[in-house]
Chain A
Amino acid sequence: NAGVTQTPKFRILKIGQSMTLQCTQDMNHNYMYWYRQDPGMGLKLIYYSVGAGITDKGEVPNGYNVSRSTTEDFPLRLELAAPSQTSVYFCASTRGGKETQYFGPGTRLLVL
């Protein structure tokens, strides 16, 4: 049982490039989340999904897009990367919206 997995672990992007951060969970959780965490700061919600085919914006969605075609996968797309998107990105999942969230190991992104 792998839990929540994320790829890649680390990536360097040039300004204006695009990439997709992958997130997969094998716990059959309905709810999935994308957060970013800047140094010394708390977690900020980018997007979330309550089930396949359903996504919604969180606190800081600008510059990102998501899709949820299956229960297991919740990729995060960065279009036109900017230095302000340098951060650590965590994916999380939970069975119900008010229950414990399980996190992936994170993706460290550096935009230069």
Chain B
Amino acid sequence: RKEVEQDPGPFNVPEGATVAFNCTYSNSASQSFFWYRQDCRKEPKLLMSVYSSGNEDGRFTAQLNRASQYISLLIRDSKLSDSATYLCAVIPRYQLIWGAGTKLIIKP
């Protein structure tokens, strides 16, 4: 089993819809969790950190479920500009471990 696994993509979603991604991790001692966004042929950029109590930033909500060992990202009222690959990253010990990413395509 991979240390960090993400939903396979691509997700094709109409503009205005709500979309959710999950990311599972294998090490129960993992301490830090992140969602990054990566545009085509660009570097990853931090979208949001994921806190134990869950956190929200505008249309984006991130949640952590320690019991089931996964994090989630919810995007509401999706925009064309949300089209990108979303990477989750987890720190099980002292290094970030990355998921392979989920590609999101928002259609007009």
> B-contacting residues of A (Cβ < 8 Å)?
33, 40-45, 48, 58, 90, 97-106
Contact = CB atoms under 8 A, between A and B. Distances in A.
Nearest to B4: A42
Interface residues of B, number: 20
Contact of B49 (A90, A97, A100, A105): A100
- In the complex, the 5 A-B pairs of residues with the closest C-beta atoms, listed nearest first: A103-B43, A42-B100, A42-B98, A43-B98, A98-B32
Contacts of B101: 42
Contacts of A48: 95
B44 interface: yes
B45 interface: yes
Contacts of B34: 100
Contacts of A41: 100
B95 A45 contact: yes
Contacts of A105: 42-43
B96 interface: yes
Given A97-B95, A98-B94, 13 more contacts: A40-B100, A42-B4, A42-B100, A45-B96, A48-B95, A90-B44, A97-B94, A98-B32, A98-B91, A102-B46, A103-B45, A105-B43, A106-B43
Contacts of B99: 42
A82 B46 CA distance: 32
Contacts of A100: 34, 46, 49
A41 B99 CA distance: 9
Contact of B87 (A40, A43, A97, A104): A43
